[in-house]
Amino acid sequence: MRKVLGSLIAVVLAILLVSYGLWTSKRRVGHYLTDLRIQVVINDGQPGQRGNLLGIQPELFPSDYSSVKRLHRKLAAYLEQARDRGLLNDKTIVVLPEHIGTWLFAVDEKTQFYQATTIEEAMNWLSFSNPLLFLDAALHARGERWLDDVHLRMKSRSMAQDYQSVFGGLAKEFGVTLVAGSIILPNPQVQDGKLQVGTGALYNSSLVFGHDGLPMGQPQRQLFPNVYQRGYIRADKDARLNVIDTPAGRLATLIGSDSWYPDNYTRLNERGAELIAVPAFVAGNGGWSEPWREEKHETLTAHLNLGQQPLTEGEAWRRLTLSPLSNAKAGISVFMRGQFWDQGSAGHSFASRGGQSIAEPSISAAPKGAKPGHGARLINLWL
């Protein structure tokens, strides 16, 4: 009797394991497309032979990342509209927001993942539907926020490939230089023209792609992630600040709050940076107008020229980013918009010319049916 019972239990377990394996292998991509409209909110200067900085502030959702083709289709639609408006040429530098590549962990997941109501629920589905990737990442995780490290590390190899495929492909398709926002990966490096990942700590990094779709130089690592992110992103204060020769001039990228610190501009002045791209991200739908919290940035804020306080998050970004200390002739700061489960994002992209900030007008004509604070934006600065 015990033998029979044991055999039955073994058969049931085998069936459950096979069923679970089959379930995890099936991925269905829906056909719902989000809004492809985009609005020009800044178009400063006159077209000429020197090119332009073009910021794309997209509005993205989990479903936009359900496949690489879908993400490409949405971003390509934005670029096509920019081209129709005469904003693309062979000297255009397109800048995308921080973490636009990080969400690539959402590619090719189960329906339940996209239908989750909270990011915690979505991450549970991510783990449950990718058990082998979860176990492998768990063995290599290094961050203090262990589970966040695991989730971001799980699909790092495919994320790196998709990042280069999507953003390198867009640069080549539209004949532009493209600053591909940022992506969180373990020890990323470019080898033989391909973005590769290692097994070390996670870094928030950005790559620039040229007209041929290939990376221009090595990834730019973030020097000063905020306190919350340092639980899973490694700070790299000694990282080299890359300056890349582009058809429009010598370009540097400062990721997020790296753009606040005067020493970074001094270093870039020494390297002859003429243009500065700032991919940025502010969490929370109302985060832009909330009080700026110094504790998020530790004692480093003691070295920042904040002037009169208190400040909102947006005022701090506008006051500190693209500092007048920079010798660069122009710069642009581009934020993400959208909703990822219960995590929203905020931010109003802006540009700078000769140390003078150029912001979106306080009242602008939003696309018909768009909610206030929502909708994709184009920010253009002729050089």
pTM of the complete model: 0.89
The confidence band for 366, taking pLDDT boundaries of 50, 70 and 90, is very low
Q: What is the mean pLDDT of residues 299-304?
A: 57
**Domain regions of the chain by residue span:** 30-382
Residue 9 scores a pLDDT above 60: no
Digit-coded pLDDT (tens) for 203-212 = 999 999 999 9
Q: Domain 30-382, CATH 3.60.110.10 — does that match?
A: yes
Tell whether the model's pLDDT for residue 328 goes beyond 90.
yes
More confident residue, 9 or 36: 36
Determine the average pLDDT of the residues in 141-153.
Answer: 93
pLDDT number for residue 227: 77
Backbone angles phi, psi at 289, to 5 degrees: -100, 0
Give strand pairing partners of 245. 250
Q: How far is CA 78 from CA 20, 39, 329, in A?
A: 39, 9, 26
Closest of 141, 120, 128, 342 to residue 231, by C-alpha = 141
Most confident of 219-223, 261-265, 368-372: 219-223
Tokens 């602008």, residue located: 364
**Secondary structure (H, E, C), the chain:** CHHHHHHHHHHHHHHHHHHHHHHHHCCCCCCCCCCCCEEEEEEECCCCCCCEEEEEECEECHHHHCCHHHHHHHHHHHHHHHHHCCCCCCCEEEECCCCCCHHHHHCCCCHHHHCCCCHHHHHHHHHHCCHHHHHHHHHHCCCCCHHHHHHHHCCHHHHHHHHHHHHHHHHHHHCCEEECCCEEEECCEEECCEEECCCCCEEEEECEECCCCCECCCCEECCCCCCCHHHCCCCCCCCCCCEEEECCEEEEECCHHHHHCHHHHHHHHHCCCCEEEEEECEECCCHHHCECCHHHHHHHHHHCCCCCCCCEHHHHHHHHCCCCCCCCCEEEEEECEEEECCEEEECCCEEEECCEEEECCCCCCCCCCCCCCCCEEEEEEEC
Distance CA 96, CA 281 (A): 11
Q: How far apart are CA 45 and CA 28, in angstroms?
A: 46
Q: How far apart are CA 184 and CA 191, in angstroms?
A: 18
- b/e string for 80-96 if b means 16 or more Cβ within 10 A? ebbeeeebbbebbbbbb
The mean per-residue pLDDT over the stretch 277-305 comes to 75
